[in-house]
Amino acid sequence: MFTIEHEFDSTVITLVDEGEKPLLEDVTINSFAECVTLEQYDPRTDTVAKITLSPEQLQDLAVALDLPEGVYQLRQDPS
């Protein structure tokens, strides 16, 4: 399950783990114009882990999910 909320300066997506137990903590994705952040609470350390991706890194990740093992570089089409 997931939710989508539009805030003033970002879109917030929350991913909720609904599978078999043990369930993992929710993942919150904040999409800003200049970056995307992913946050997840870690109950073992009682902290929130945060990862920040540039728009280019996010694009690479989206493409990488559908590719086989290997090394890749995305290039703009010159035409």
- pLDDT tens-digit profile of 13-35? 999 999 888 899 999 999 999 99
Q: Average pLDDT, stretch 63-68?
A: 91
Task: Please report the beta strands in the chain, taking only residues with DSSP state E, as ranges in sequence order.
Answer: 2-6, 11-15, 27-31, 36-42, 47-53
Residue 36 has pLDDT above 80, yes or no: yes
* pLDDT for 74: 84
Instruction: Read off φ and ψ for residue 64, nearest 5 degrees.
Output: -60, -30
- pLDDT of residue 7 exceeding 90, the answer is yes
Residue 5 pLDDT class (50, 70, 90 cuts): very high
User: Where are the chain's structural domains?
Assistant: 2-64
Q: How confident is the model at residue 77 (pLDDT cuts 50, 70, 90)?
A: confident
